[in-house]
Amino acid sequence: MENWIKIRNHLWIYILCIGSLSGQPISFSSITDGLSQTVSSRNSQMILLGGVLGSGLASQYDQSFQSDVYANGLMPNGLATVGDYWGITGQLLLWGSFLKNDDKHHQLGYALNAFAANGFITYGLKFAVGRERPDQSNTRSFPSGHTSNSFLTATIAHEIYGSKVGVPAYMLACITGLSRIHDNKHYVSDVIFGAALGTAIGKGFGSIYRNKVDTNVMIIPPSKGFRLNLTWAL
């Protein structure tokens, strides 16, 4: 557990450094705008509602399902290890892919602020709910942070690169969520809501990113005078 805490702390430092170097610092206004879009967007609302309902339903069977998983396992241990590490380090590969892109500033701004918002909400809920983990290691079970992180990574990848990258990323996110159940760190309901939370935040912040990318400003110098042409996607 101490190793995971160190990795998480180093990751937050890395986020801040990348934001500063890219000229896209994490900002309170960007986070609030993204969260506002998340709660007002129809797609994000439906995803969150599905997460709440699915998590509530699954919670009725959490104990019995977890007992069965603890006794029989859910996946090979090697695959579970892949899921554990992907839940924390997957976003590093995503950010690294932006560095050579022409639109890296908008992409990094989208990702950094979305991950900051997801982190604040996930850990805020963990401490507010105070649910004990299946292995009784602490009271920060709900929601699953690995899962919300990995589904946010997948959603951002899909928004920027499309389904060719997004679909494999969602598959890895599913492995991450299942690995947390397999490792006896989370109940099914923790994972379901974590997946919905990460996806909804990615969609909400993604709509702001698309609006920025789809808006183009062109300066056209005619023979006489000056003209500014502003176009945006409808």
Q: Which helix (H) or strand (E) holds 231?
A: strand 227-231
Joined together, the tokens standing for residue 189 give 């309901």
pTM confidence score: 0.83
- For residue range 70-92, list pLDDT tens digits in order: 999 999 999 999 999 998 889 88
pLDDT of residue 24: 54
Provide the CATH number for the domain around residue 154. Answer: 1.20.144
Question: Cα–Cα distance between 13 and 210 in angstroms, integer?
Answer: 27
β-strand pairing of 216-220 with 227-231: antiparallel
Joined together, the tokens standing for residue 174 give 């599913």
pLDDT of residue 228: 47
Q: Any idea which residue has 């995971």 for tokens? A: 4
Write down the mean pLDDT value for the chain. Answer: 85
pLDDT at 219 exceeding the cut of 50? no
Sign for the CA dihedral angle at 85, 142, 39, 49 comes to positive
pLDDT at 214 exceeding the cut of 90? no
Instruction: Name residues whose C-beta falls within 8 Å of residue 199's C-beta, 6 or more positions apart in sequence.
Output: 47, 151, 152, 154, 155
- For residue range 115-143, list pLDDT tens digits in order: 999 999 999 999 999 999 999 999 999 99
Joined together, the tokens standing for residue 199 give 């996806």
pLDDT of residue 102: 87
Question: Cα–Cα distance between 15 and 112 in angstroms, integer?
Answer: 7
Task: Report CA 137 to chain centroid distance, whole Å.
Answer: 24
DSSP 76: -
Q: Any idea which residue has 């950094």 for tokens? A: 112
pLDDT of residue 68: 95
DSSP 185: S
Joined together, the tokens standing for residue 69 give 């998983």
pLDDT at 189 exceeding the cut of 90? yes
Q: Show the domain range for 58.
A: 2-231
**Contact (CB, 8 A) for 197 and 145:** no
Quick one: average pLDDT of 9-13?
Answer: 52
Number of domains composing the chain: 1
**Contact (CB, 8 A) for 69 and 191:** no
Question: Cα–Cα distance between 176 and 82 in angstroms, integer?
Answer: 8
Question: Cα–Cα distance between 210 and 64 in angstroms, integer?
Answer: 43
pLDDT of residue 232: 43
Instruction: Give the N- to C-terminal CA distance of the chain in Å, as an integer.
Output: 48
